[in-house]
Structure 1
């Protein structure tokens, strides 16, 4: 976080959770960045990043008291594909990364390099 800030960046997370759920997650995990609520995956859908969970996963989540309708406030059982964007101050997307495997995240060094290239321009 310090390096991102030093490079002129700001981290913002976007979640399909209801605002109270997003706030609770941010508070519980002591996050030092903003977590915005994208109820209904409106923003994620505009980027083409929404998928529907298969029935067997829905049953498993329900059995573990983690049913998406309770958390996200709709019956869609949809989630966004994890994605990372670096957006310039003018709104241009200068780096985009997404992977359906939520364990495959963009290396923070790549994000820092993208931020540093923006400040060098």
Structure 2
């Protein structure tokens, strides 16, 4: 199955696992986000991607400038290792990594989670690409991708065992929307995927086609 098909299947099953009030809270949060201007203000194709120096799971510093010396960069944001949709997307990208590399591109994932939590994600998904921490969602903020979770959704997440304060190391209760970019060597954005609905992600087939 394609990533899009996998996500759709998981979402269908998820609505059965979390029926009633829980489903209503999650749907309402997406609808409220869709009624904002977050997509209108987010960085898109044709824009210039901001430079960054971020920490990977091993505590090493990784810069966009160094990554771009090797060629194009495919950069994807994900909410955290607690998010099943993110994990499905990361595994799909891992499977597509040989084709991405064959196109001369480097794949990088950006998360607001602390490096310790990131390492857990990396080990769990056996990823062969960099997973970088953007503290307090700073990189996502600079791209206009960040939103604050409604209080009832924060409470619901805690019943699922999801604690953003613990995983991110701050009390903002903020997350980036689903977003993936292709960055050219001059830092121009040549492809973007943006979605308020966290159940939607850029399909690797589309990413590879755009490289």
| TM-score with structure 1 setting the length | 0.89
Cα deviation for residue 107 of structure 1 reads: 2.4
- The equivalent of 2:102 in structure 1 is 6
Alpha-carbon deviation of 1:89? 1.6
Q: Which residue of 1 is the match for residue 189 of structure 2?
A: 93
Cα shift readout 1:95-117 (whole Å, capped 9, x = no counterpart): 111101122112222211221xx
List structure 1 segments (4+ residues) > 6 angstroms apart after TM superposition. none
Task: Give CA-to-partner distance per residue, 1:6-40, whole Å, 9 cap, x none.
Answer: 01111100000011111111112211111100110
1:25 aligns with 2:121: yes
Aligned length: 115
Using CA pairs under 8 Å that are at least 6 residues apart, name the structure with larger relative contact order, 1 or 2: 2
Structure holding more helix per residue: 2
1:109 aligns with 2:205: yes
Structure 1 partner of 2:54 = none
Structure 1 unaligned residues grouped into runs of 5+:
116-121
Aligned CA-pair RMSD: 1.1
Quick check: 1:59 aligned with 2:133? no
Deviations 1:29-58 (A, max 9, x none): 211111100110000000000011111111
- 1:65 is displaced (CA, Å) by 2.5
Q: How does 1:41-60 map to 2 (within 5 A)?
A: 41-60=137-156
Q: Which has the higher mean CA deviation after the structures are superposed, 65-74 or 103-112? A: 103-112
Unaligned 5+ runs, structure 2 = 1-96
> Matched residues in 2 for 1:108 and 1:19: separation?
25
Q: TM-score, normalised by structure 2?
A: 0.53
